[in-house]
């Protein structure tokens, strides 16, 4: 029965599919929850300690982490929805207003993953091709413009879907195959346009820019800096996780239920875990911060202290000023 819808009645006749549904939903919920926690820690770490906020490097990572956190939260809810449709506003597999609101947010924010990588890719392209001009080209003002262009289509999608449903021009019904509400009728063409503009075009633009960077690095025998390695790791792993869903949509590939859930759903939401791990693995400042958190927790279990007695994060020099860590 692979490839067929699964509803609550199917469990009576096919225990294997229902067991897979339970395991897959649980794994997706755990991945989503960990993604929210990990991405939020990255945002807190960079924003709290103001590490190189002036030259946009931290802002670029924060932009990606915000997208990962939102997508992970929606993945957590989607995992719960696989376990029980009432948790996504569809009791007895019937769509309600809550299910529609969740679907509008899901369709809007899950498409922010690839566009969020564009500012980071543009920054690294300029740094590789025009290293002497990078600091003058990639300013905080330009970063703000890129972030606005990044999130503007997402907000347009959310606004259009909300207005369309309010006016009755968008109809949605619960899909037992996808475990969420889906748009029916003419609005499905709008979703196809969103996939082209927010997924396919940014995907191939990023690949093109990285091709130019790779050619320039090999031709000029350049050394890769730490931030370029971090950005490349985040971007390339994200593209890999988005690729199955993108390829299935481009070539209209029909996948079985189990394969579809693993490749185009579960894998899609894993960036919230992987990207923070890449950042921590490469940057000593992030590693030190994580170690301090673990040591504080361990010490507090044996020697409880007040919050005022805790050492503030960030190393101090001899003059007593807090030194920001280098993430370049």
CA gap 283, 45 in Å, rounded:
12
Higher pLDDT, 1 or 273: 273
91, HSE (Cβ side, Cα atoms, 13 Å): 1
Q: Residues near 213 by Cβ (< 8 Å), separated by ≥ 6?
A: 124, 125, 128, 129
% of the chain residues with pLDDT over 90:
35
And the tokens for 229?
């390695």
Indicate the pLDDT class of residue 14, thresholds 50, 70 and 90: low
End-to-end, the C-alpha distance of the chain in Å comes to 52
Indicate the pLDDT class of residue 308, thresholds 50, 70 and 90: very low
Q: Is the pLDDT of residue 51 over 80?
A: no
pLDDT at 252: 75
Q: Residues near 126 by Cβ (< 8 Å), separated by ≥ 6?
A: 133, 134, 137, 138
Cα separation values, 38 from 34, 213, 240, 279, Å: 6, 29, 20, 11
Contact 157, 107 (CB under 8 A): yes
Average pLDDT of the residues in 52-65: 79
pLDDT at 293: 73
Q: Is the pLDDT of residue 6 over 90?
A: no
Average pLDDT of the residues in 19-44: 93
pTM over 0.85: no
Higher pLDDT, 291 or 156: 156
180 beta partners:
175
Indicate the pLDDT class of residue 280, thresholds 50, 70 and 90: confident
Of 62, 64, 95, 100, nearest to 237 by C-alpha is 64
Structural domains of the chain sorted by starting position, each given as residue range(s) with its CATH number in brackets: 13-296 (1.20.1070.10)
Q: Residues near 235 by Cβ (< 8 Å), separated by ≥ 6?
A: 117, 120, 121, 206, 210
CA gap 103, 291 in Å, rounded:
39
What is the three-state SS of 106-151?
HHHHHHHCCCCHHHHHHHHHHHHHCCCCHHHHCCHHHHHHHHHHHH
List, for residues 192-237, the tens digit of each pLDDT value. 788 888 888 999 999 999 999 999 999 999 888 888 999 999 999 9
């Amino acid at each position: 029965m692979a490839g067929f819808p699964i509803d609550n009645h199917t469990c009576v006749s096919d225990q294997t599919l229902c067991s897979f549904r339970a395991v897959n939903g649980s794994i997706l919920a755990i991945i989503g929850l960990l993604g929210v926690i990990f991405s939020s820690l990255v945002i807190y770490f960079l924003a709290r300690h103001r590490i190189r906020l002036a030259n946009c490097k931290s802002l670029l990572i924060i932009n990606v982490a915000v997208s990962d956190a939102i997508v992970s939260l929606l993945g957590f809810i989607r995992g719960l929805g696989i376990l029980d449709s009432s948790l996504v506003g569809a009791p007895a597999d019937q769509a309600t207003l809550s299910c529609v609101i969740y679907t509008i947010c899901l369709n809007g924010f899950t498409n922010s993953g690839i566009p969020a990588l564009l500012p980071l890719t543009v920054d690294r392209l300029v740094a590789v091709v025009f290293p002497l001009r990078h600091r003058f080209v990639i300013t905080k003002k330009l970063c703000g413009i890129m972030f606005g262009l990044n999130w503007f289509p997402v907000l347009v999608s959310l606004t259009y879907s909300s207005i369309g449903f309010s006016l009755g021009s968008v109809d949605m019904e619960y899909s037992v195959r996808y475990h969420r509400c889906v748009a029916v009728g003419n609005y499905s063409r709008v979703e196809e346009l969103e996939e082209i503009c927010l997924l396919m075009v940014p995907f191939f633009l990023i690949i093109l820019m990285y091709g130019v960077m790779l050619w320039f690095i090999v031709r000029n025998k350049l050394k890769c800096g730490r931030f370029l390695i971090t950005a490349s790791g985040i971007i390339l792993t994200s593209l890999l996780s988005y690729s199955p869903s993108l390829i299935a949509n481009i070539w209209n590939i029909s996948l079985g239920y189990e394969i579809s859930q693993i490749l185009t759903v579960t894998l899609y939401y894993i960036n919230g875990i992987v990207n923070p791990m890449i950042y921590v693995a490469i940057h000593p400042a992030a590693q030190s911060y994580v170690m301090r958190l673990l040591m504080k927790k361990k010490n507090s279990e044996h020697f409880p202290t007040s919050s005022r007695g805790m050492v503030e994060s960030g190393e101090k020099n001899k003059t007593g000023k807090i030194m920001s860590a280098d993430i370049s």
